[in-house]
Amino acid sequence: MEIEPSSFFNLKHYEYGEAYFGSHKGMRYRLAREPLENVVFVKAEERKPATLMATVWPEPYSYAATDKALMTSKTFEISDEGFAEAIKWINDQYETRIDMWSL
Residue-wise pLDDT tens digits, 17-37: 999 999 999 999 999 999 999
Residues 58/73/31/33 CA torsion (nearest 10 deg): 150
Return the SS3 of 92.
helix
User: How confident is the model at residue 44, as a pLDDT?
Assistant: 87
pTM: 0.93
Answer for the pair 88, 1: CB distance below 8 angstroms, yes or no.
Answer: yes
Provide the edge-to-edge strand list for the sheet that holds 72-76: 20-24, 27-34, 51-58, 72-76
User: How confident is the model at residue 103, as a pLDDT?
Assistant: 66
pLDDT digits over 57-71, tens only?
999 999 999 999 999
